[in-house]
Amino acid sequence: MILYLARCAAQFAVALVGIVTVAFFLMRAIPGDPALYMLGDFATAEALATLRARLGLDLPIWQQYGVFLLRAAQGDMGVSVVTGQSALAEIWAAVPPSATLAVAGMAIAICFGVPLGIIAAVRQGSAVDLAVMLLALGGISFPVFWLGLVAILTLSHALGLFPALGATSEPGFWKGLHHLALPALVLGLSVAAYIARLTRSAMLEILGQDFIRVARAMGVPERRIVWHLAFRNALIPVLAVIGVTFAWSLGNAILVEAVFSRPGLGSTILKAILSRDYQLVQAGVLVLAAAVVLLNTALDLIYGAIDPRLRRS
Amino acid sequence: MSTMFELRNLTAAVPGEAGPVRLVEDVSLQVQAGETLAIVGESGSGKTVTFTSALGLLPKPGRVIAGQALLEGEDLLQLSPDALRRRRGARIGMVFQDPLTGLNPVFRIGDQISEVLRAHLPISRAEARERAIALLARVQIPDPTRRVDDYPHQFSGGMRQRVLIAMAIALGPRVLIADEPTTALDVTVQAQVLDLLTDLREADGMAMVLITHDLGVVARQADRVAVMYAGRVAETGLVEEVFRAPRHPYTISLFRSIPDLESPAGTKLAPISGAPPDPARRPAGCAFAPRCFAMREDAGCLHERPSLTSDHHAVACLRAGLLEVAS
């Protein structure tokens, strides 16, 4: 177990270094200059050079990369060139609203996607199955920003059920939840579509297995067969798709945050990219990547708990 | 002796382009308490379909279109789905062919046996576990108290089949249907599993239906045998009778196609040429006619479908009487 955890930690580190490296070079590959952005278009060449030297941007890129890695290894992701604050602290401040949205979206996706997928599988070929699959096709096909706009127009503007703004400064749990509802629903439904489709196909496969026929021959009630005996088998592929869609829904969360004017990692990183705030982007990418890798590591451990054959000795 | 399980004129079909395709047709069989009835026939002859359809387990869109399946006189096919479910496992158990895929890989053995017990009995988890351990001991699994918490992949094929047998007999059924229970097992394990089934049958006085394509198994384990061909019963009778004097040309050909220690060295085996007919394209007359050595057009083999005679050693062949005279 200790060995396994050590291997997980090593994989985690390698994945993070890789992702941060890509972010480092990508940011420097796009045109633009943070010094120019800070000082404006009328800055003197001399002032620009001074600032560039202060930011370390005059060094060769390999040297910059070396310095960056060395500092990052010590937990120092640098300082935002725009605000002068620690980049990691600034990103960290944007995490709670994004995490809330992501978790709420995932919860909605699972609560809708898994049962709908199971029902569609059990009633394969029926009108219910067709309806669920059409809905899922829609959820996958329509981009999330479009769904967001439609949700605002209908549920918020026409029916007045939810506020169009995805966040509020007013205190109170219920108030916050009311504002969170629409963005979480939009984010969740697009993921729910994937989960429903995958749950359906996983359940169909499992329900055709010999051990299900055995359970039927032994007189186990159908309800028990579907929701207990078959479902636990289908859980592995379902969890796998949850792991994959989580990364994808973090990307969607950025769009949803923009549509619903919600603060969070999305808007923070977007602003950082536009202002060529290298440190802030790198810190943001690091946090997002860590979230994805951590979730998938956790899922790996859960797989072992569900299916003994996947357990590592 | 009382009849435990009886099929009367059972016909099951799947929808086809030109009307229903009959997988099994007009099958009548019965098995008495304490008796083993062997069902033999090649793959696709309808052995398994006969019993899965009798238990309401035929996968859709297959369905029973005629006949009765009487369990201690009660027609299973007239029961509501829930009433039928409560009979399955409790009063009629079934063991399937492949023990490697028959157990749920993500549940402990004990939990799977408990699941069956708790589907029929209002007992607690702890009680179900105790009974599961006792059942594992009954099917001769060593160290059942420890093994009850193991998962299927920690068992060998033979041991898994024992677990499946434990599930099938968990509620003390009156009838046990074993569908090729040893086909997927090593030869050395086959005999052990068959002996276990026979011991259990004798101890509980169950009626057993043993589906197999192994005539050696029939000779050793069964009291009576029914030979199936193309979804119909071709011949049925006591094992000694059928083995000593087979009446149906198909049965005769089956015996000629297996090696025999007593036949002189150099005797060639006689395989049955051709293949069984596709259920959707069965010939108008006897389904075996195209492959039959005794087929005679003037006897009506190509036009008339022979029905099973009603005597003790019954046969469905228009030429059966003539064959006996000749031999």
Quick: pLDDT tens for A125-139: 899 999 999 999 988
B289 alpha-carbon distance from chain centroid: 25
pLDDT in tens, A21-56: 998 888 888 887 777 777 777 878 888 888 888 878
| Spatial distance between the Cα atoms of B4 and B93, rounded to a whole number of angstroms | 13
DSSP, res B298? G
pLDDT at B323: 67
Q: B15 has which bridge partners?
A: B20
Does residue B89 sit at the A interface (CB-CB below 8 Å)? yes
pLDDT at A312: 61
Of B90, B106, B168, the CB nearest to A306: B106
Are B102 and A210 inside 8 Å of each other by CB? yes
pLDDT at A159: 84
Question: Is the confidence at residue B272, as pLDDT, over 70?
Answer: yes
pLDDT in tens, B143-198: 999 999 999 999 999 999 999 999 999 999 999 999 999 888 888 888 889 999 99
Question: Is the confidence at residue A313, as pLDDT, over 60?
Answer: no
pLDDT at A125: 87
Lowest mean pLDDT among A130-134, B29-33, B271-275: B271-275
The residue ranking higher by pLDDT, A162 or B48, is B48
Does residue B61 sit at the A interface (CB-CB below 8 Å)? no
Tokens 């079934």 belong to: B94
Does residue A218 sit at the B interface (CB-CB below 8 Å)? yes
| Spatial distance between the Cα atoms of B168 and B89, rounded to a whole number of angstroms | 6
| Spatial distance between the Cα atoms of A135 and A151, rounded to a whole number of angstroms | 15
Tell me how far CA of residue B297 lies from CA of B168, B284, B302, in angstroms. Answer: 47, 13, 6
**Is B83 within 8 Å of B136 (Cβ atoms)?**
no
pLDDT at A292: 87
Are A220 and B55 inside 8 Å of each other by CB? no
Question: Is the confidence at residue B326, as pLDDT, over 80?
Answer: no
Residue of chain B whose Cα is closest to the Cα of A210? B102
Average pLDDT over all residues of chain B: 90
pLDDT at B55: 93
pLDDT at B177: 96
pLDDT in tens, B277-286: 888 888 888 9
Are B90 and A306 inside 8 Å of each other by CB? no
Grade residue B265 by pLDDT with cuts at 50, 70 and 90.
Answer: confident
The set of residues, in sequence order, having a beta carbon less than 8 Å from that of B166 and lying 6+ positions away, is B113, B132, B135, B136, B138, B139, B141
Are B89 and A218 inside 8 Å of each other by CB? yes
pTM: 0.84
Diameter over CA atoms, chain A: 85
- Section A149-158 average pLDDT: 85
The residue ranking higher by pLDDT, B260 or A59, is A59
Q: Is the ipTM of this complex over 0.85?
A: yes
Does residue B282 sit at the A interface (CB-CB below 8 Å)? no
Question: Is the confidence at residue B132, as pLDDT, over 90?
Answer: yes
pLDDT at A3: 82
B contacts of A218 (beta carbons < 8 Å): 88-89, 93-94, 115-116, 119, 167-168, 170
Q: Where are the beta strands (DSSP E) in chain B?
A: 3-16, 19-32, 36-40, 63-71, 74-75, 92-95, 175-179, 207-211, 224-229, 232-238, 314-315
The residue ranking higher by pLDDT, A121 or A84, is A121
Question: Is the confidence at residue B120, as pLDDT, over 80?
Answer: yes
pLDDT at B324: 63
Of A105, A163, A168, A172, nearest to A139 (Cα)? Answer: A105
- Section B219-243 average pLDDT: 94
Question: Is the confidence at residue A72, as pLDDT, over 80?
Answer: yes
pLDDT in tens, B55-106: 999 988 899 999 999 999 999 999 999 999 999 999 999 999 888 999 999 9
Of B87, B88, B104, the CB nearest to A229: B104
Average pLDDT over all residues of chain A: 87
DSSP, res A101? H
**Is A279 within 8 Å of A87 (Cβ atoms)?**
yes
Write out residues 181-210 of A within 8 Å (CB-CB) of B.
209-210
**Is B232 within 8 Å of B316 (Cβ atoms)?**
yes
Are A211 and B57 inside 8 Å of each other by CB? no
Are B104 and A211 inside 8 Å of each other by CB? yes
Could you tell me what percent of chain A has a pLDDT over 90?
A: 24
| Spatial distance between the Cα atoms of A277 and A268, rounded to a whole number of angstroms | 10
Side-chain-side CA neighbours of A224 within 13 Å: the count stands at: 14
pLDDT at B24: 93
| Spatial distance between the Cα atoms of B9 and A307, rounded to a whole number of angstroms | 45
Are A214 and B164 inside 8 Å of each other by CB? yes
Does residue A308 sit at the B interface (CB-CB below 8 Å)? yes
